[in-house]
C-alpha cells in the first residue's frame, strides 16, 4: 500500500479524459494532461538531483504548470514548499536559508544563482527552464513509495517572535483532511469549483485543489479574484470557496441575486471571520447560507458548519468527523481552542522547542480563543496570538514593528488591525517619533522589506503608546482609539 497522496488522487480518478481544470481563457486540461505533465516535471526534478525528502521551494504565479509542479514534487516523494509571490528578496533569503531546498523554482525575472541549490524558472504563462526541460522528458514516472507520516509539504506561517516557522505536513495529514472535506461537503465528480484563491496558502492549495482532486471533480482556475468574472461563471459552476473578502465584494456587485447563483449548491468561507452581517445579507440576496469553516496552516481544516442542518452566522460549526477539539474552560465558557487528529501537522521545521511548546497532551494549542454553544457549535471569539488578518492573509505585528523600529527617527511602534470594509482588517501602524521621520519615509523603507499585504495601510503618529502596569503596550486601547469606519 502506497500512502503517497498523489497515488490516491489519481486512483480516485476513473476517467482520465475528464476535465480537471478549465481556465478563464477557455483552455481545458484533463486529468490525463495534468498526470502526464506531473510525470514530465517529476523526471525533470529527478534529473536535477531531487531525492525523496528534499525540499523544492516554489515562488511562482498560479498556473496549471505550478499545480503540476506541486503534484510532481509529492510524486517524487519530496517536500513542496510554496512561497507567496509577494515575498521580497530579503524575505526569500530567510526562507531559503531555513528550508535548505535542493531546488528553487521561481519567475525568470527573479532567478537566484546559488551553489546551495539548483534554480529552475517558471513564468506566469508557463515559460522558463522548468517547462523547456520537462518537454524533453518522458511522461512515465513511478510514484515514490511514501508512508502516512512522511512529509509532503512545508508551509511557512508567520511567527509571533517575528520569524516565520515552517509547518511540516505529512501525506497522512493532507489525505485525511481531503477525504473528510469531500465527505462532509458532498463533493462528487459532477462538481465544478470556482477557484480564485492563491495557491501558496493552505486554502487554495489543499482545501480547494486536494478536495477537487480526490472527488475527481473540475475546477475553473482564475489567476485572482475578479467579481465580474466570478459572477459570469456562476451559472456554469456548482461551488465557490473564498475568504470573507470575496463575499463582501460580491455582495457589492449589482448582478448578485438569486438567478445568478441558482446553479451553485455550496458557498464556503474561511481563513478569517465572516461577519454575521455578511452571512445574513448573502442569504437575503441569494437564498444561500454561506457555509463557514475553520482551519489553519498547521492543522488543515478543523471544523465546519453542517451541509445539512443549520449554518449559524458567526459560528464555525462542528469538529470534522476525525478531529477532536477541546477548550480549556468549563462548557460554554471561552478558552483556548486545542486540536488533535490526523489533520494536525508534524511540528515546526527544525524547531523542536517551538513544536513542544505548542502542544499539550497531544493537542495542538491553536492560539485562537473560542467556546462551544449548547448545540455543539464552535464560536471563535478572538485570537490569543496577536495576529492581524487582512484580506485572508495573516500578518504578525511583531515582524512589522521590528522593521519600523529600525527606521531612523522612530522611537517605537505598535501594529494593529483596524476594521476595514474590504480587507476585514487593515494593517495600521501607530508610531512614536524621536526624530525627523515622515509617513512617506516609513512607507518607502517598508516597501523593499515587506510583502505588500504586510505593509501598513495607514500610519498614525502619537506622543506615546498606552501601557499597562506590566509595561505591555495595550493594543486593545489603541484599537478602540483609532476605530473608525474605513474609507
Ligand atoms: P492560516 O494559518 O493562514 O490559515 O490562518 C489561521 C488562522 O486564521 C486561525 O488560527 C484563525 O485565527 C483564523 N481563521 C481561519 N478560519 C477562520 C474562521 N472561519 N473564523 C475566524 N478565524 C478564522
Q: Is 276 helix (H, G, I), strand (E, B) or coil?
A: helix
Q: Give residue 158's pLDDT.
A: 60
Phi, psi of 120, deg, nearest 5: -120, 150
397-405 and 439-447 are packed helices; what angle lies between their axes, rounded to 10 degrees? 110
Nearest C-alpha neighbor of 162 from the set 404, 432, 434: 404
CA angle 264, 267, 268 (to 5 degrees): 150
Estimate the crossing angle of helix 31-47 against helix 64-75, to 10 degrees: 60
Place of cell 531546498: 101
| Smallest CA separation from ligand 1 atom 10, residue | 296
Question: In which residue are the cell numbers 481545458 written?
Answer: 28
State the Cα–Cα distance between residues 445 and 345, nearest whole angstrom.
Answer: 36
Select the more confidently predicted residue: 387 or 183.
Answer: 183
Does the CB atom of residue 292 touch ligand 1 within 6 A?
yes
Locus of grid cell 475546477: 219
Whole-number pLDDT of residue 387: 80
- In this structure, which residue's CA is closest to atom 5 in ligand 1? 296
Ligand 1 in contact with 253 (CB < 6 A)?
no
Output phi, psi for 280, to 5 deg.
-70, -45
Q: Can you tell me which atom of ligand 1 is nearest the CA of 201?
A: 3
**Highest mean pLDDT: which of 7-21, 219-233, 383-397?**
219-233
157 close to ligand 1 (CB < 6 Angstrom): yes
CB of residue 369 inside a 6 A radius of ligand 1 = no
Contact by Cβ (8 Å): 278, 252:
no
Ordered DSSP codes for 118-148: EEEE--TTS-SHHHHHHHTS-S--PPPP--T
Residues 227 and 249 sit within 8 Å (Cβ to Cβ):
yes
**270 CB under 6 A from ligand 1?**
yes
Q: Is the pLDDT confidence value at 470 over 60?
A: no
Lowest-confidence pick of 123-132, 190-199, 254-263, 390-399: 390-399
Whether residue 326 contacts residue 363, with contact meaning beta carbons closer than 8 Å, is answered with yes
CA of residue 363 to ligand 1 center, whole Å: 17
Tally: H helices and E strands in the chain: 15, 25
Q: Is the CB of 368 under 6 A from ligand 1?
A: yes
Query: Per-residue pLDDT tens for 300-333?
Result: 999 999 999 999 998 999 999 999 999 988 999 8
Q: Which atom of ligand 1 is nearest to the CA of 316?
A: 19
Does 297 contact ligand 1 (Cβ within 6 A)? yes
Residue 472 pLDDT class (50, 70, 90 cuts): low
pLDDT of residue 13: 74
Distance CA 131, CA 41 (A): 8
Q: pLDDT at residue 188 above 70?
A: yes
Q: What cell numbers appear for 193 in the block?
A: 469549483
Number of residues that this document lists for the chain: 487
Q: What percent of the chain has pLDDT over 70?
A: 97
Residue 383 near residue 375, CB atoms below 8 Å = no
Closest among 167, 164, 183 to 175, alpha carbons compared: 183
Return d(Cα 153, Cα 187) in angstroms, integer.
24
Residue 162 has what pLDDT? 55
- Chain segment 322-367, per-residue pLDDT in tens: 999 999 889 998 889 999 999 999 999 999 999 999 999 999 999 8
The per-residue pLDDT for range 414-461, each reduced to its tens digit, is: 999 999 988 989 999 999 998 999 999 999 999 999 999 999 999 999
Summarize pLDDT for 104-160 with one digit per residue, the tens. Answer: 999 999 999 999 999 999 999 999 999 999 999 999 999 999 999 999 999 998 644
Residue 273 Cβ inside 6 Å of ligand 1? The answer reads yes
The grid cell for 147 is 508512508
Q: pTM here?
A: 0.87
pLDDT at 471: 56
pLDDT band at 487 (very low <50, low <70, confident <90, very high): very low
Rounded to whole angstroms, the Cα distance separating 482 from 16 reads 55
Mean pLDDT of the chain: 93
- Our answer on whether the CB atom of 272 is closer than 6 Å to any ligand 1 atom is yes
Average pLDDT over every residue of 366-370? 89
Given a cut of 90, is residue 161 above it in pLDDT? no
Question: Which DSSP string corresponds to 3-37?
Answer: --HHHHHHHS-S-TTSEEEEETTS-EEEHHHHHHH
User: Quick one: pLDDT at residue 469?
Assistant: 54
pLDDT of 242 over the 50 cut: yes
Identify the residue whose cell numbers are 492563491. 198
Residue for grid cell 455543539: 376
What one-character-per-residue DSSP string does 432-454 give?
EESSS--HHHHHHHHHTTS-GGG
The pLDDT assigned to 200 comes to 93
Instruction: Choose which residue among 296, 297, 379, 382 to substitute to test ligand 1 binding: the one with the highest number of ligand atoms within 8 A of its C-beta.
Output: 296
Ligand 1 center–CA 434 separation, angstroms = 36
- String of b and e for 249-266 (b: at least 16 CB within 10 Å)? bbbeeeebeeebbeebeb
Amino acid at each position: 500500500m502506497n500512502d503517497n497522496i498523489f497515488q490516491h488522487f489519481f486512483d480516485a480518478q476513473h476517467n482520465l479524459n475528464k476535465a480537471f481544470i478549465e481556465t478563464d481563457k477557455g483552455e481545458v486540461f484533463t486529468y490525463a494532461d495534468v498526470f502526464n505533465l506531473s510525470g514530465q516535471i517529476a523526471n525533470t526534478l529527478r534529473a536535477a538531483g531531487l531525492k525523496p525528502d528534499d525540499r523544492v521551494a516554489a515562488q511562482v504565479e498560479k498556473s496549471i504548470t505550478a499545480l503540476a509542479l506541486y503534484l510532481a514534487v509529492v510524486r517524487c516523494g519530496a517536500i513542496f514548499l510554496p512561497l507567496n509571490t509577494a515575498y521580497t528578496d530579503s524575505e526569500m533569503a530567510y526562507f531559503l536559508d531555513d528550508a535548505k531546498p535542493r531546488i528553487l523554482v521561481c519567475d525568470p525575472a527573479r532567478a537566484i544563482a546559488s551553489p546551495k541549490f539548483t534554480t529552475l524558472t517558471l513564468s506566469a504563462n508557463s515559460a522558463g527552464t522548468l517547462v523547456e526541460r520537462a518537454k524533453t522528458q518522458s511522461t512515465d514516472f513511478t510514484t515514490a513509495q511514501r508512508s502516512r507520516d512522511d512529509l509532503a509539504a512545508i508551509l511557512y506561517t508567520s511567527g509571533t517572535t517575528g520569524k516565520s516557522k515552517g509547518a511540516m505536513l505529512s501525506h497522512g495529514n493532507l489525505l485525511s483532511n481531503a477525504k473528510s472535506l469531500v465527505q462532509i461537503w458532498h463533493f462528487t465528480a459532477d462538481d465544478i469549483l470556482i477557484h480564485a484563491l492563491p495557491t501558496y496558502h493552505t486554502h487554495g492549495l489543499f482545501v480547494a485543489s486536494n478536495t477537487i482532486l480526490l472527488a475527481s471533480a473540475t475546477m475553473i482556475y482564475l489567476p485572482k479574484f475578479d467579481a465580474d468574472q466570478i459572477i459570469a461563471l456562476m451559472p456554469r459552476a456548482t461551488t465557490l470557496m473564498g475568504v470573507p473578502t470575496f463575499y463582501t465584494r460580491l455582495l457589492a456587485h449589482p448582478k448578485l441575486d438569486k438567478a445568478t447563483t441558482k446553479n451553485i449548491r455550496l458557498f464556503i468561507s474561511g481563513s478569517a471571520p465572516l461577519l454575521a452581517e455578511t452571512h445574513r445579507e448573502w442569504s437575503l440576496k441569494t437564498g444561500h447560507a454561506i457555509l463557514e469553516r475553520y482551519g489553519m496552516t498547521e492543522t488543515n481544516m478543523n471544523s465546519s458548519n453542517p451541509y445539512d442542518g443549520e449554518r449559524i452566522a458567526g459560528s464555525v460549526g462542528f469538529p470534522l468527523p476525525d478531529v477532536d477539539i477541546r477548550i480549556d474552560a468549563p462548557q460554554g465558557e471561552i478558552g483556548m481552542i486545542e486540536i488533535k487528529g490526523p489533520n494536525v501537522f508534524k511540528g515546526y521545521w527544525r524547531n523542536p522547542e517551538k513544536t513542544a511548546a505548542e502542544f499539550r497532551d497531544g493537542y495542538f494549542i491553536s492560539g485562537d480563543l473560542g467556546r462551544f454553544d449548547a448545540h455543539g457549535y464552535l464560536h471563535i471569539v478572538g485570537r490569543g496570538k496577536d495576529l492581524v488578518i487582512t484580506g485572508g492573509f495573516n500578518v504578525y505585528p511583531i515582524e512589522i514593528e521590528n522593521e519600523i523600529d529600525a527606521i531612523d527617527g522612530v522611537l517605537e511602534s505598535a501594529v494593529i488591525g483596524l476594521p476595514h470594509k474590504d480587507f476585514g482588517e487593515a494593517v495600521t501602524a501607530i508610531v512614536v517619533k524621536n526624530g525627523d521621520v515622515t509617513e512617506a519615509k516609513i512607507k518607502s523603507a517598508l516597501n523593499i522589506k515587506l510583502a505588500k499585504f504586510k505593509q501598513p495601510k495607514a500610519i498614525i503618529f502619537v506622543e506615546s503608546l498606552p501601557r499597562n502596569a506590566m509595561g505591555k503596550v495595550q493594543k486593545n486601547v489603541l484599537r478602540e482609539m483609532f476605530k473608525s469606519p474605513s474609507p
